[in-house]
Structure 1
């Protein structure tokens, strides 16, 4: 995916996510819950988009730096967070402009599944974390591809695309499916220890009309997979 891919629909994407099920009521609450007490922590928001997670972490007392590969998304983040927010354009698939061990925590929310190669990005994220620091990340659940395409090979690293409508604007997003063992192997090879694997419930405040019609009494659904990794 081109670094500026989101530029063409940045406003629509950000607006849709402000009130959407998968971000407002699922991904962001789950990441904040996993982050816990971050007061005084130096936190890197890698792939910060329009800045909602940055905003939540800053409100919890973290000292946050954010980057994204989309200049249009970063402009929205600056409008949201103010001119004093530490934001810059950078690409996770390339060397990052930060010193070794610069951060206590790194959050990477719904970013890695866009990348075919995780080796270099995970290596860079390990480099900028202090020893014992945490990498908190979320990716598409590996069951997603199989559920949408029963003939798909779960055990392969497979590219697939899906079309979405964000605030009446169509966009095609392309992902890379990975089986769970490929994810865990990549984390270990990059120098991380898996501390948490989470398949959390959606927020109790989720409006009923946003939930899948067949959800019944269930409090969770298969969507994203969350990890807390510790830098060894």
Structure 2
């Protein structure tokens, strides 16, 4: 059951426990949604220049690395899961730098320096990291003055875990999006682990729903100025009817936010 986030949790190690599942779904190059929608949208907002230093926070196995390096920028990825980082290092080779670290405590990493990056990104990771305010202050620490921040997330207004879904209106032959809860912040259990094989202590990954105003307020409090916002609809599979195609075209799947450090 989803519940309110009214206290700060100890940092979770759950993503390392589900690394095998995640790699089976997304791999080191990302899922189809990563490759076809999320990465192109993030790169358009980021617009990295040759020689720039980009920090990818919550990088997983580094799905963003090829696009950043193809633009001539230097890629560093940070993730708490040693298994995902190890897979990314093996897959991407020495050109991509991947480090094990906590997004909320970037200053604790000896390999990083304050103001060491021109840009920071969250590619479908910000909604899996808590607390938000501490995470954004940590990202701000890593950026040079005037540095850029880009967040690409599932749209918090329309894609709320366990509190939204598709519905069908027979009278209008219309597919619609149902929203059961929005303004209340939620801590939502997602992927279970450790219950079948006994190798891990039983647990669950978590997703953190926050209304859009929370992201705007947290960015401002961390010294960021929003200068871009993009809403990205889902692609069509080619197997859907007219109503389904219209719904996916009109109701966005992802939200991208671009900001700079003031």
TM score, norm. by length of structure 2: 0.74
Which of 218, 225, 239 is equivalent to 1:186? 218
Q: Secondary structure at the match of 1:215?
A: helix
Map of 2:257 onto structure 1: 227
Deviation, 1:17, is 6.6
Deviation, 1:39, is 1.2
Map of 2:66 onto structure 1: 55
8 A Cα contact 2:55 2:119, kept in partner: yes
Q: Does 1:32 align with 2:47?
A: no
Deviation, 1:178, is 0.6
Map of 2:173 onto structure 1: none
Work out the CA distance in 2 between the residues paired with 1:31 and 1:5: 27
Q: Secondary structure at the match of 1:72?
A: helix
Map of 1:148 onto structure 2: 165
1:54-110 Cα offsets, whole Å, 9 max, x none, are: 111011100111121111111221122113532210111224322111000111111
Map of 1:94 onto structure 2: 105
Which of 91, 104, 110 is equivalent to 2:124? 110
Give the number of aligned pairs. Answer: 223
**Larger mean Cα displacement after TM superposition, 79-88 or 113-122:** 79-88
1:143-186 Cα offsets, whole Å, 9 max, x none, are: 2125239574311111223459xxxxxx9642111111111001
List runs of 5+ in structure 2 lacking aligned partners.
Answer: 1-11, 167-177, 193-202
Work out the CA distance in 2 between the residues paired with 1:123 and 1:42: 18
Change (3 A) 1:141 1:57: same
Change (3 A) 1:210 1:83: farther
Is the radius of gyration larger for structure 1 or structure 2? Answer: 2
8 A Cα contact 1:46 1:92, kept in partner: yes
Map of 1:167 onto structure 2: none
Change (3 A) 1:74 1:138: same
8 A Cα contact 2:151 2:256, kept in partner: yes
Change (3 A) 1:116 1:148: farther
**Larger mean Cα displacement after TM superposition, 208-217 or 151-160:** 208-217
Map of 2:7 onto structure 1: none
Q: Secondary structure at the match of 2:119?
A: strand
Deviation, 1:140, is 2.2
Q: Equivalent residues in 2 for 1:61-210 (5 A)?
A: 61-96=72-107, 97=109, 98-142=112-156, 143-145=158-160, 146-148=163-165, 152-162=180-190, 173-201=205-233, 208=238
RMSD: 3.0
TM score, norm. by length of structure 1: 0.83
Q: Secondary structure at the match of 1:99?
A: coil
Change (3 A) 1:211 1:102: farther
8 A Cα contact 1:159 1:174, kept in partner: yes
Q: Secondary structure at the match of 2:182?
A: coil
Work out the CA distance in 2 between the residues paired with 1:35 and 1:10: 25
Q: Secondary structure at the match of 2:64?
A: helix
